[in-house]
């Protein structure tokens, strides 16, 4: 066997690998071959220096990491207040929706409404009130529906407000009847607040996604 084979085996042993030559045979060759012994000594020195070489300097990033952290971590008092406001809005919508549905019930069942309205008109009024109450209840259960329900409810509320104000001035409606519309207006305001809060959460989420890591 020639020297290159022994040197390859010695290199493998220096790297912690299994040499292709038996250890006793390799040691015997190194003892009898000064050239291979010198080569192994030099290789051992290079290997030792490579393993004991100092690590390259790493910059201290502690200050940069700490300054990049948000001043207010997610959660805490702000998140608790947000959850509280959301819970209050949902409970209020549940109450308004239930009250609006109860207000529609007599007109739907008996066909009678205020100011001696015809039966069909009473049914129509009851259906509208029940639809509004159902919308309030739906938004209370699933706040994400607020933005979709707002165009219908908002249009209904604006027109009802304008027409009621005109009818009050002309004496076409009694004040006690007009007061019942406040329940509807309150529910629409709650839906609008819920939709606005949902839009703010979506905008914050989009902004967070656009911030580079």
User: Nearest CA to 182 among 152, 163, 157?
Assistant: 157
H/E stretch holding 147? helix 146-170
Token code pair at residue 145:
């529906």
| Residue 196 in domain | yes
Write down the pLDDT at residue 70. Answer: 66
Domain residue limits at 36: 3-51
CB 93 within 8 A of CB 137: yes
| Residue 109 in domain | yes
Residues 156 and 200 in one domain: yes
70-79 contacts, C-beta under 8 A, 24 or more apart? none
Phi, psi of 112 (to 5 degrees): -115, 145
Residues 46 and 82 in one domain: no
Token code pair at residue 10:
């010695």
- Please tell me the total number of residues recorded for the chain in this structure: 213
Residues 82 and 144 in one domain: yes
Domain total of the chain: 2
Please tell me the distance from the alpha carbon of residue 46 to that of residue 54, in angstroms, as a whole number. 14
Residues 110 and 149 in one domain: yes
Write down the pLDDT at residue 213. Answer: 46
User: Nearest CA to 102 among 202, 19, 183, 30?
Assistant: 183
CB 12 within 8 A of CB 19: yes
Residues 134 and 30 in one domain: no
pLDDT tens, residue order, the chain (213 aa): 688 888 888 888 887 788 778 888 888 888 888 888 888 888 888 877 777 666 677 788 787 877 776 666 555 677 788 888 889 999 999 999 999 888 887 777 765 555 445 676 777 778 888 889 999 999 999 999 999 999 989 998 999 899 889 988 888 878 887 888 899 999 999 999 999 988 877 766 666 555 444
Helix (H, G, I), strand (E, B) or coil at 74: coil
Model-wide pTM > 0.85: no
Write down the pLDDT at residue 138. Answer: 93
Query: How many of the other CB atoms lie within 10 Å of CB of 136?
Result: 29
Residues 43 and 95 in one domain: no
| Residue 69 in domain | no
User: Nearest CA to 178 among 163, 191, 158, 193?
Assistant: 163
Question: Rounded to a whole number, what is the distance in angstroms from the first to the last CA of the chain?
Answer: 59
| Residue 64 in domain | no
| Residue 63 in domain | no
């Amino acid at each position: 066997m020639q020297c290159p084979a022994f040197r390859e085996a010695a290199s493998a042993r220096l790297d912690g690998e299994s040499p292709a030559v038996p250890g006793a045979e390799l040691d015997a060759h190194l003892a009898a071959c000064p050239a291979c012994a010198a080569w192994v000594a030099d290789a051992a020195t290079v290997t030792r220096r490579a393993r004991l070489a100092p690590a390259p300097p790493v910059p201290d990033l502690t200050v940069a990491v700490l300054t990049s952290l948000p001043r207010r971590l997610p959660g805490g008092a702000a998140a608790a207040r947000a959850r509280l406001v959301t819970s209050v809005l949902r409970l209020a919508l549940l109450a308004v929706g239930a009250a609006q549905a109860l207000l529609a019930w007599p007109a739907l069942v008996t066909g009678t409404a205020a100011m001696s309205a015809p039966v069909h008109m009473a049914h129509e009024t009851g259906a509208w009130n029940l639809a509004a109450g159902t919308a309030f209840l739906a938004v209370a259960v699933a706040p994400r529906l607020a933005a979709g329900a707002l165009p219908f409810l908002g249009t209904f509320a604006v027109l009802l407000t304008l027409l009621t104000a005109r009818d009050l001035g002309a004496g076409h409606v009694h004040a006690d009847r007009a007061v019942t519309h406040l329940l509807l207006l309150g529910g629409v305001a709650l839906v609008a607040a819920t939709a606005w809060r949902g839009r703010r959460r979506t905008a914050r989420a989009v902004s967070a996604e656009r911030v580079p890591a």
